[in-house]
Amino acid sequence: MSKAWGENHVLRGLDFEVRAGEKVSIIGPSGSGKTTILRILMTLEYPDEGIVTVGGDPLWDVKRGSKPRETKQMRETRKKVGMVFQQFNLFPHMTVLENVIEAPVHVLGMPKAEAKERAVELLEMVGLQAHIGHRPPQLSGGQQQRVAIARALAMRPRVMLFDEPTSALDPELIGEVLGVIRELATTTDMTMLMVTHEMRFAQEISDRVVMFDKGVVVEKGPPEEIFTNPSHERTRSFLRAVLER
């Protein structure tokens, strides 16, 4: 799969696979294309060429030079994928509860009562039962991000994408969000892809870490290996810059 913005080749002949239930962290310097991968998986961006499948179903199948269009197939496959954004992207004019039930009710067609019940459960899980009736702007960043996680989970996705879920947060609030993600990682069999700069956290929860630079995978492997004994110079220098300061 490839993707370019004009002359800027962001992803170059990328080819990798994530097994069902696997937890994968994507690391790499700024501008290396990490976000772009997630956005393509969420169909917010289209690849210039290549094939992407989710759980065996095709999501993208693009020939070079053609501009792909949204298909019904794609829309169905997309429902299996959930995403948590760096900037939370909650709907500010709806309450926390409304945010969480919006999609189950109007996309999956779940009855409202059932959706509410599930939403309350999820909000309890992320520790926000007390804020069900509040609106997002009244919450702290950490709380908002937890709502965003609950909202994505409400669709029961098979794959969850996290794009630097903590980088817009104050240092003290990061912990609470990472706590929720850790919980998810250890207690569910959801497939998780996470872009993060929290190296210690990535090491702790991932089955595999992928190091990325200039649109190609530099190195991938179990976290112990990547963090303690990287085989590429680029990985070493990146880790040095991020960790040793």
Residues of the shown chain interacting with another protein in the complex, contacts defined by CB under 8 A: 42-44, 75, 78-79, 81-83, 85, 87-94, 102-103, 106-108, 135, 137-138, 151-152, 155
Nearest residue (CB) to ligand ATP, 155 versus 238: 238
CB 62 within 8 A of CB 50: yes
Contact between 10 and ligand ATP by CB under 6 A: the answer reads yes
Partner from another protein, ligand ATP, Mg ion, none contacting 36, C-beta within 5 to 8 A by type: ligand ATP
CB nearer a copy of itself, residue 53 or residue 186: 186
Sign of the CA dihedral running 119, 122, 128, 130: positive
Asked whether the CA dihedral 45, 2, 148, 156 is positive or negative, the reply is positive
Which of these ranges, 26-34, 62-70, 143-151, 154-162, lies near ligand ATP under the rule CB under 6 A? Answer: 26-34
Residue placing its CB nearer to a copy of itself in the complex, 114 or 170: 170
| HSE-CB for 219 with a 13 A CA cutoff | 20
Q: 161-220: which residues touch ligand ATP (CB under 6 A)?
A: 170
d(CA 95, CA 42): 25
Q: List phi, psi (to 5°) of 175.
A: -55, -45
In the complex, the smallest distance separating the C-beta of residue 75 from another protein, rounded to whole angstroms, is: 7
Q: Find the helix or strand (DSSP H, E) in which 226 lies.
A: helix 223-228
The binder of 8, among ligand ATP, another protein, Mg ion, none, by C-beta within 5 to 8 A per type, is ligand ATP
Cα–Cα nearest to 1, from 98, 69, 68, 74: 68
Residues 6+ apart with CB under 8 A from 148: 84, 85, 88, 89, 90, 165
* Element holding 208 (H helix, E strand): strand 208-213
Tokens 């210039």 label which residue?
Answer: 48
214 binds, among a copy of itself, another protein, ligand ATP, none (CB under 5 to 8 A by kind): none
Q: How far is the CB of 109 from another protein (least distance, A)?
A: 11
Select the residue interacting with Mg ion from 11, 27, 33, 35 (CB under 5 A). Answer: 35
Q: Which residues bind Mg ion (CB under 5 A)?
A: 35
Q: Which residues bind a copy of itself (CB under 8 A)?
A: 29-30, 170-175, 178, 197-198, 200-201, 238, 241-242, 244-245
